Structure 1
Amino acid sequence: MNKNQKKLLTAGIAVMACFVALIIWLIVANSRNTAAVNKAEARADSLAIANDQLVLTNEFNQLSADFNQYEGQQIYLKNDSLVHKYNEARMKVEGLIQELNDEKSKNAKNMAASRAKIKQLEGEIATLKNIVRHYLEEIKRLGEENEDLKQEIQQVQQKNEQLSSQYTAATKSNAELTQTVQLAKKLNITGISFQAYNKKGKTEKNITKARQLGVHFTVSPNNTTAPGMKDFYIRILSPEGTLLGGGPSFQLDGSTISSTSHRKVEYANEELSVAVYWDVNTTLTPGDYTVEVFCDGYRLASRHFTMKK
């Protein structure tokens, strides 16, 4: 082998060696690139799953907040089946979120399982959305019904208050009317006088010599009063305020009252003159005497008369 051939052989071997080295380097570089790509893809998948999980978790939290906002109005619901369904769906979502959190620390071989759980989580949250939407619609509807009911109750209460006011006014009016009728039945007397008489039955100006006292008055006509026998009672008070007694008692405003004298007369709704006498049985003194006349539970008159010696 000549010198030139040796040079060619050496150069060929060197070229082959470089070629082999290049192939080896390419294989190694490709292997490294594949690993990097796989790692990047796994990282990207993990980030995508984490992002999806974050989005779904936020969505779940928003649904929970919407539901809890109206939780105090559950009393409007006629049954709790809707709340029961919500709680079941919420527990499923919370369980899936917890499982995804547990798998964050695991390797890439669980990526497919995580994606499956994300898919399941999306479905459960969609179900939860429907439940919450139905719940809120039901709460709104029942709340509106309750508001309408409140307005109806308020209207009824106002009506009752009006009726109560009308009843009170009518009762008061009836009471006033009854009182008016009762007062209308009360007899009216006029021309009341007070006289002293001596032992001969003549008028006596000296009160100390009086043997009899007489009260005279006229009863006016009154068609409202029932006709019939009427009991007229008189009370005579001395200047010292002592009742000149001896007559029968009578009722006045639930109390028993003593009288000086009494007379029963028949009243026919026409003008009637009445005289009631009292025989003196005590010493009389000059001064102001008070004379009162009563009939049918009413005091018809009260007058003061000055009697001299």
Structure 2
Amino acid sequence: MVILTIVLAALLLIAVGFGVTQVASLKSQVQEAQLENEELKLSNEQLQLSNEFDVLNAEFQQYEDQAQRLANDTILAKYTAAKAKVEQLMQELKSEKVKSQARINELQKEIATLKSLLRHYIAQIDSLNKENAGLRAENQEIKSLNERLSSRVQEVTRTAETLSERMTLAEKLNVTGVSLTGLKKNGKTEKNITKAKQLMVTFTIPQNNSTPVGEKTIYLRLVNPEGQLLGGVGSFSFEGKSIPCTARKSIEYAGEEIPGVKIYWDVNTTLTPGDYTVELFTDGYRLTSRHFTMKK
């Protein structure tokens, strides 16, 4: 009986020792599993945060080419600093065998800061783009207005030039009824040009209220069939040049018609049959240029 009791006591001690060992082992396994689970959880959080960071960078790169427009902006400086901090934290966590919840929390905080800064940054870029779009539209409107004004100025200028030309032409002295006649020594008509002793140019000055009144000097140029100027009593100015003339006559013009104005040239050379040119000038204008066939 005593022996049986001793055996049972020994077995009980062995069982208790084995149970304690099993419990300790199981507890250790649970703790290891918890640690692995916690590390896995932290790794997943880090991976999620890394993905968020990649998305933020991709979005930022869409606006990076516009960074020069905000080169002095504090938001951009803060974003760059926060981005550097995130990259540093991620590098640290990659090198750690056991993840740190405190560092993960810090990374979450920095990425949240990045999100906020990026939203503000994009809002500023959008606002600037809208402002620039408004300015471009305004500039285009101003450009269009300037083009219309320039076109209008050109049109008014052309109109003014046309009116000026018309006014100038309206002031020009006119002549009508121009004729060339050969005369005998006694002043009668000589039809044979080779016998003429004098050539007479006759014309009428019509009424013109637009022509300035006063003394007018009318210059006559007679050109023979050979293209030579007949006679010569000086010269006059025309289109910036000094032009020789055959004869000249001064008249007093009062705006009224002056009929039968005559200018004479005494023949001093041999005249030949053919086409003679008569030109009359005054006040810097050519009043007429006519051709007359003189026969033998």
Short-chain TM bin: over 0.9
Taking the TM superposition and a 5 Å limit, the aligned residue runs for 1:178-189 are: 178-189=164-175
Partner of 1:122: 108
1:207/1:285 contact within 8 Å kept: yes
Taking the TM superposition and a 5 Å limit, the aligned residue runs for 1:93-242 are: 93-103=86-96, 106=97, 108=98, 111=99, 114-242=100-228
Determine the C-alpha separation between the residues in 1 that align with 2:68 and 2:241.
Answer: 61
Of the three residues 289, 292, 301, the one matched with 2:276 is 289
Of the three residues 236, 259, 282, the one matched with 1:250 is 236
1:191/1:216 contact within 8 Å kept: yes
Determine the C-alpha separation between the residues in 2 that align with 1:135 and 1:164.
Answer: 42
What one-letter code is carried by the residue in structure 1 that aligns with 2:284? G
What SS class does the counterpart of residue 70 from structure 1 fall into? helix
Partner of 1:276: 263
Shift of 1:14: 4.1
Length-normalised TM-score, structure 2 = 0.93
Partner of 1:40: 33
Is 1:64 paired with 2:57?
Answer: yes
Shift of 1:21: 3.1
What SS class does the counterpart of residue 205 from structure 1 fall into? coil
Q: Deviations over 1:234-282 (max 9, x none)?
A: 2212112222240322222223322222112111111013211112222
2:209/2:255 contact within 8 Å kept: yes
What one-letter code is carried by the residue in structure 1 that aligns with 2:57? S
Length-normalised TM-score, structure 1 = 0.90
What one-letter code is carried by the residue in structure 1 that aligns with 2:294? M
Change (3 A) 1:78 1:50: closer
Determine the C-alpha separation between the residues in 2 that align with 1:245 and 1:132.
Answer: 97
Determine the C-alpha separation between the residues in 1 that align with 2:232 and 2:194.
Answer: 19
Partner of 1:307: 294
What SS class does the counterpart of residue 284 from structure 1 fall into? coil
Determine the C-alpha separation between the residues in 2 that align with 1:231 and 1:88.
Answer: 93
Shift of 1:140: 1.1
Show structure 1 runs of 4+ deviating over 3 A.
11-18, 74-79
What SS class does the counterpart of residue 210 from structure 2 fall into? coil
Partner of 2:79: 86
1:248/1:262 contact within 8 Å kept: no
Shift of 1:75: 4.5
Shift of 1:285: 0.2
Is 1:54 paired with 2:47?
Answer: yes
Determine the C-alpha separation between the residues in 2 that align with 1:308 and 1:300.
Answer: 26
Determine the C-alpha separation between the residues in 2 that align with 1:29 and 1:257.
Answer: 138
Change (3 A) 1:18 1:258: farther
1:76/1:143 contact within 8 Å kept: no
What SS class does the counterpart of residue 199 from structure 2 fall into? strand
Which consecutive residues of structure 1, in runs of 5 or more, have no partner in the other structure? none
What one-letter code is carried by the residue in structure 1 that aligns with 2:203? F
- Percent of aligned pairs with the same residue? 47
What SS class does the counterpart of residue 65 from structure 2 fall into? helix
Determine the C-alpha separation between the residues in 1 that align with 2:19 and 2:265.
Answer: 155
